Amino acid sequence: MGYFLIAGILFLLDFGPFFTPVKNIFAQVLQPVRSVTYRIGQFNFEQLFYSDKLKRQEKEIQDLEKQLVAAEGKIVELQQLHDENKRLKGLINSTVAKDESFYRPAWIISRQGDYLIINQGEKDKVTVGQLVINQERHLVGRISKTYDQEAKILTIGSVSLELPVLIFSDWREDCFNNLTDCQRTRGIVSGKVIKDILREEKVNVGDIVTLLDGPRGILIGKITQVRESKDSIFKQAEMEELINLDRLTEVFLISQ
């Protein structure tokens, strides 16, 4: 009964002028607590959990990307070492390495159309007209211009480069001997075309083209087509080069 009496008195006082200020003061005191409680109730703990999880996943992705970049760099480095090892093995077995005083190596540093730029020039006694080969003794081209520390090679396959050539039915070391029957005829190579071949000379697809003026055994290309010309004296042939200029990194200058 005592509890009901107290509750009734409080209920009656709630409508009285005395209790209203007290209630207002109590509400002001509790307002910050109510605000904090409301914000806590509205806070999305699930969103916070997934946000932290997403940040961890993003960091893991970034770490994996860094590891991938490092692995790709290592693969490139290993491939370069493999290519360098293969190049050095080929150089050891090549005929170029047998006479270092006659063939001087140079690195290709850029390419400009029909020209290759090497890292040697006038200071290295490079001269216009010098022939340039690769390690298999395949003709790369001829020096067309020199600078102090660089030089330009006009490459084989350019129409601006004309060279006298010999054509052989096959290739052996003794093919330059007049007693052998592998020599076919002579001609002038310009670009991919060999002109000024005597009409009566026999030339077949697959024949080997070598340099006429210069050291013996420098190969240029292989005959891919023979065609008649309007000229009653000469005929022409087409050839393909024996080198891939896009994959060439090192060349050898023939000392004059």
**Residue-wise pLDDT tens digits, 54-108:** 788 888 888 888 888 888 888 877 776 666 556 555 554 555 545 544 788 899 9
Distance CA 191, CA 114 (A): 10
Give the per-residue pLDDT at 100: 47
Residues 201-214 have pLDDT tens digits of 889 999 999 998 88
* Side chain identity, residue 254: I
Domains and their CATH numbers in the chain: 2-42 (no CATH), 102-157+247-254 (2.40.10.340), 162-246 (2.40.10)
117, β-bridge pairs = 110, 152
> Looking at residue 130, what is its pLDDT?
94
Report, as an integer, the average pLDDT of 37-47: 58
At residue 101, the pLDDT reads 46
- Cα 185 to the chain's mean position, in Å? 40
- In this prediction, residues 179-208 reach a mean pLDDT of 88
pLDDT on residue 183: 81
- Cα angle at 228 between 225 and 230, to 5 degrees? 145
Query: What pLDDT score was predicted for residue 14?
Result: 54
More confident residue, 1 or 254: 254
Mean pLDDT to the nearest integer, 104-130: 93
Of the listed ranges 23-32, 174-183, 218-227, 239-248, the one predicted with least confidence: 23-32
